[in-house]
Chains A and B, each alone.
Chain A
Amino acid sequence: GEDVEQSLFLSVREGDSSVINCTYTDSSSTYLYWYKQEPGAGLQLLTYIFSNMDMKQDQRLTVLLNKKDKHLSLRIADTQTGDSAIYFCAERLPGSTLGRLYFGRGTQLTVWP
Chain B
Amino acid sequence: DGGITQSPKYLFRKEGQNVTLSCEQNLNHDAMYWYRQDPGQGLRLIYYSQIVNDFQKGDIAEGYSVSREKKESFPLTVTSAQKNPTAFYLCASTPGQGWETQYFGPGTRLLVL
Interface residues of A (CB under 8 A from B): 8, 31, 33, 35, 40-45, 48, 50, 88, 90, 92, 97-101, 103-106
* Known A-B contacts A45-B101, A45-B103; A99 and B96 likewise in contact (beta carbons under 8 Å): yes
Determine which of B100, B106, B107 lies in contact with A99 in the assembled complex, contact meaning CB atoms within 8 Å. Answer: B100
Q: Which residues of B contact A41 (CB under 8 A)?
A: 106-107
Asked whether, in the complex, the Cβ of A97 is within 8 Å of the Cβ of B56, the reply is yes
In the assembled complex, 18 residue pairs joining A and B whose CB atoms fall closer than 8 Å, in A order, are A31-B99, A33-B101, A40-B107, A41-B106, A42-B4, A42-B6, A42-B90, A42-B105, A45-B101, A45-B103, A97-B50, A98-B30, A98-B50, A99-B31, A99-B96, A99-B100, A100-B33, A103-B42
CA distance A27 to B5 in the complex (A): 35
Determine which of A43, A44, A48, A106 lies in contact with B99 in the assembled complex, contact meaning CB atoms within 8 Å. Answer: A48
Q: Write the nearest CB–CB distance from A87 to chain B, whole angstroms.
A: 11
Interface residues of B (CB under 8 A from A): 4, 6, 30-31, 33, 40-43, 45, 48, 50, 56, 90, 92, 94-96, 99-107, 109
Q: Which residues of B contact A45 (CB under 8 A)?
A: 101, 103
CA distance A33 to B103 in the complex (A): 12
CA distance A99 to B92 in the complex (A): 10
Q: Which residues of A contact B33 (CB under 8 A)?
A: 99-100
Q: Which residues of B contact A99 (CB under 8 A)?
A: 31, 33, 94-96, 100-102
Q: Which residues of A contact B40 (CB under 8 A)?
A: 8, 105-106
Q: Which residues of B contact A98 (CB under 8 A)?
A: 30-31, 50, 94, 96
CA distance A50 to B98 in the complex (A): 10
Asked whether, in the complex, the Cβ of A97 is within 8 Å of the Cβ of B103, the reply is no
CA distance A45 to B7 in the complex (A): 21
Asked whether, in the complex, the Cβ of A101 is within 8 Å of the Cβ of B101, the reply is yes
CA distance A90 to B103 in the complex (A): 13
Determine which of A40, A50, A101, A106 lies in contact with B102 in the assembled complex, contact meaning CB atoms within 8 Å. Answer: A101
Given A42-B104, A88-B42, 10 more A-B residue pairs with CB atoms under 8 Å apart are A33-B101, A42-B105, A43-B90, A43-B102, A48-B99, A90-B101, A92-B101, A97-B56, A99-B100, A105-B41
